[in-house]
């Protein structure tokens, strides 16, 4: 019996938010892009807005080694545990596993933190398998670059690959994966290339690391890639979602939808040149959330603490149907004013980062280059 055939047990009455205290304490090092407080700030902001009662908050534990090796090489696992314990690795292991480098440094939670984010999405998969419909949010997840035998792009494990494998093991026959990160979801795509039961869709900035995900890169019909030009506007993102993502999703008719909601496509992010407002992300989330009865949403990229916390809090609001306030109440504003960022953009942050949740909507009509991209993608992937 597949999950699709399983008798429904119940419906989650409200979306669940999964996180862990470890995200308050782990340290990538002062110069690493992930040294900023992202998940803790999101939790504190949601609580300050009255959106995160204890009844919907789930404390996640770490995935076990046996669970992690469902996707990852056991020797790689051992190297991560050794590196965390000794805060060092032999050069051979550094080279082999891409550890101790600028992007993937040795740090005090280099094993336990990604194991915890993996544990969260595995818990989410189990919960979704026990219901006929429901939504789960794990903003610490979304490590879509991780490889079976090495770290890649700040990602030590690939928690999304682990989640998709768990969903498959639980009997789900049709899983749709959407990736809104500014960087191509290469690790997830490669993990499921040619797997007819998993369809991956990625909207990402072209000519940006990892330099994969070309328009015609469809992995035998199991992947859909939309590489967008720099400066992507809200109007263009909405068009892509409406003309490509939604039709692809409706045609695939998934049992489960998994969305990687990186916040690095926002205009205020330092590691991309896309120009989206957080409202465009929320609009897309609202539009795609009905594509499947079960929904798992994770975080992903995003390296400006104010824009990430505001965006991911708004994602949680969208999943719950909460109204976005015109101005943040005093307690929520205090959360924003307490954040710091050791980059030029953090020295004199604009006042709206402290006082509002929603960005001003992006301006500008759809450019001819994006219109042409959508038409080409439509011919490749929608095929009416």
In the set 72, 107, 145, 204, the catalytic residue is: 145
Note if 32 is an active site residue.
no
Residue 326 CB neighbours (<10 A): 9
Local structure of residue 377 (DSSP, 8 states): H
Q: How far apart are the first and last CA of the chain?
A: 33
Judged by phi (left if over 0) then psi (alpha if -120 to 50, else beta), residue 8 lies in: beta
Q: What are the b/e assignments for 241-268, b being 16+ CB within 10 Å?
A: bebbbbebbeebebbbbbbbbbbbbbbb
Nearest CA among 311, 232, 226 for reference residue 273:
232
Instruction: Check if the beta carbon of residue 149 is closer than 8 Å to that of residue 99.
Output: no
User: How far is it, in rounded angstroms, from Cα 236 to Cα 232?
Assistant: 6
Parallel, antiparallel or unpaired: strands 256-260 and 294-298: parallel
Residue tagged 């504190």 (tokens): 44
Cis link prior to 210 (omega < 30° from 0)?
yes
DSSP assignment string, 234-260 = HHHHHHHIIIIIHHHHHHH--SEEEEE
Q: Which residues are catalytic?
A: 145
């Amino acid at each position: 019996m597949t999950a699709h055939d399983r008798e429904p047990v119940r419906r989650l009455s409200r979306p669940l938010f999964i996180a862990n205290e470890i995200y308050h304490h782990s340290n990538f090092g002062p110069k690493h892009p992930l040294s900023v407080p992202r998940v803790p700030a999101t939790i504190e902001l949601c609580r300050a807005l009255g959106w995160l009662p204890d009844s919907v908050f789930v404390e996640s534990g770490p995935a076990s080694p046996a669970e992690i090796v469902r996707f990852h090489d056991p020797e790689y696992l051992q190297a991560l545990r050794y590196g965390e314990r000794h805060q060092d690795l032999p050069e051979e292991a550094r080279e082999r596993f891409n550890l101790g480098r600028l992007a993937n440094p040795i740090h005090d939670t280099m094993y336990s933190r990604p194991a915890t984010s993996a544990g969260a999405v595995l818990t989410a998969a189990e919960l979704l398998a026990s219901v006929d419909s429901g939504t789960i949010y794990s903003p610490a997840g979304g490590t879509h670059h991780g490889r079976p035998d090495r770290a890649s792009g700040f990602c030590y494990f690939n928690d999304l690959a682990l989640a998709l494998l768990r969903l498959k093991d639980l009997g789900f026959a049709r899983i749709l994966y959407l990736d809104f990160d500014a960087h191509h979801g290469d690790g997830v795509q490669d993990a499921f290339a040619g797997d007819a039961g998993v369809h991956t869709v990625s909207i990402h900035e072209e000519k940006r690391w990892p330099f994969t995900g070309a328009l015609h890169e469809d992995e035998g019909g199991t992947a859909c890639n939309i590489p967008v030009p720099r400066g992507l506007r809200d109007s263009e993102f909405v068009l892509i979602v409406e003309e490509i993502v939604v039709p692809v999703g409706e045609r695939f008719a998934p049992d489960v939808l998994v969305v990687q909601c990186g916040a690095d496509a926002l205009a205020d992010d330092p590691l991309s040149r896309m120009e989206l407002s957080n409202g465009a992300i929320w609009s897309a989330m609202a539009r795609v959330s009905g594509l499947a009865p079960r929904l798992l949403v994770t975080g992903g990229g995003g390296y400006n603490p104010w824009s990430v916390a505001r965006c991911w809090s708004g994602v949680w609001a969208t999943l719950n149907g909460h109204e976005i306030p015109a101005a943040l109440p005093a307690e929520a504003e205090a959360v924003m004013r307490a954040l710091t960022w050791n980059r030029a953009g953090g020295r004199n942050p604009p006042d709206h980062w402290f006082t509002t949740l929603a960005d001003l909507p992006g301006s500008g009509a759809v450019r001819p280059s994006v219109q042409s991209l959508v038409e080409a993608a439509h011919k490749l992937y929608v095929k009416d």
